[in-house]
């Protein structure tokens, strides 16, 4: 179950990145993605400064989520 939640969070972060590139993205979708991902991204945004105007906090968050997912044990019963 934990792997599913971590994977869903990673997918939501990627969706937020892609949605930021779309100028006419629907506002409810953007608001939902912000609600889902802000809890993970805000601490990274406070730690990492903008580099050349780029926010690299999603990349750092994805790397940490991937590392956590790697170490979460797989339930053998499914």
| Residue ranges, the chain, pLDDT below 50 | none
Question: In what helix (H) or strand (E) does residue 56 lie, and over which residues does it extend?
Answer: none
Report pLDDT digits (tens) over 4-15: 899 999 999 999
Average pLDDT over the chain, rounded to whole? 91
Provide the 3-class DSSP secondary structure of residue 66: helix
Q: Please state the pTM of the whole predicted model.
A: 0.87
Nearest CA-CA partner of 60 in 72, 69, 47, 73: 47
């Amino acid at each position: 179950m934990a792997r599913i939640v971590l994977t869903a969070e990673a997918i939501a972060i990627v969706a937020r990145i892609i949605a930021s590139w779309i100028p006419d993205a629907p506002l409810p979708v953007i608001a939902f993605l912000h609600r889902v991902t802000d809890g993970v991204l805000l601490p990274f945004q406070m730690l990492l400064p903008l580099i050349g105007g780029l926010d690299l906090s999603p990349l750092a968050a994805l790397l940490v989520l991937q590392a956590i997912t790697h170490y979460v044990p797989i339930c053998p019963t499914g």
